């Protein structure tokens, strides 16, 4: 069986999320650092008098695993990755404390 290209898959999923967020008044930026394997979706701009700046999704690829650093999506990036064929053992919920990860269905590190 051919191994899934994690870089391409992460970029595809984040691109889909950036398109889904087009109804917002803020700008949606995709930040892909393919050399260091960091991938983000960021919202920035103004809503009335309030400044908006925030990372919605942050994913890194380290040591052959997908590390989810931040996930502010409704469905969950981990669930989307699993549905696309990524093994749960290759996904780290890095936004959870290391001692809690052992109680999830995903990799510890």
Q: What is the spatial distance between Cα 1 and Cα 20, in angstroms, rounded to a whole number? A: 32
Question: Is 55 inside any structural domain?
Answer: yes
Please report, for the domain that includes residue 27, its CATH number.
3.30.310.110
pLDDT tens for the chain, residues 1 to 109: 568 999 999 999 999 998 876 556 789 999 999 999 999 999 999 988 999 999 999 999 999 999 999 999 999 999 999 999 999 999 999 999 999 999 999 999 9
Q: What is the spatial distance between Cα 12 and Cα 18, in angstroms, rounded to a whole number? A: 10
How many CA atoms within 13 Å lie on the side-chain side of 107?
A: 18
Q: Which domain holds residue 21?
A: 6-101
Question: Is 106 inside any structural domain?
Answer: no
**Whole-model pTM above 0.85?**
yes
How many structural domains does the chain have? 1
User: Residue 73: which of 97, 58, 57, 49 has the closest Cα?
Assistant: 57
Question: Is 108 inside any structural domain?
Answer: no
Question: Is 90 inside any structural domain?
Answer: yes
Question: Is 1 inside any structural domain?
Answer: no
Backbone angles phi, psi at 84, to 5 degrees: -85, 0
Question: Is 92 inside any structural domain?
Answer: yes
Q: What is the spatial distance between Cα 38 and Cα 69, in angstroms, rounded to a whole number? A: 10
Non-local CB neighbours of 27 within 8 Å, separated by 6+ positions: 43, 44, 45
Q: What is the pLDDT of residue 100?
A: 96
Question: Is 85 inside any structural domain?
Answer: yes
């Amino acid at each position: 069986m051919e191994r899934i290209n994690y870089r391409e898959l992460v970029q595809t999923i984040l691109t889909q999320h950036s398109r889904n967020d087009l109804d917002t008044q803020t700008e949606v930026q995709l930040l892909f650092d393919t050399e260091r394997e960091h991938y983000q979706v960021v919202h920035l701009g103004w809503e009335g008098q309030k400044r908006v700046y925030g990372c919605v999704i942050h994913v890194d690829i380290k040591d052959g695993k997908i590390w989810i650093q931040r996930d502010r999506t409704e469905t969950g990036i981990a669930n989307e990755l699993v549905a696309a064929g990524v093994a749960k053992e290759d996904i780290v919920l890095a936004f959870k404390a290391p001692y809690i990860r052992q109680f999830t269905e995903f990799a510890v590190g």
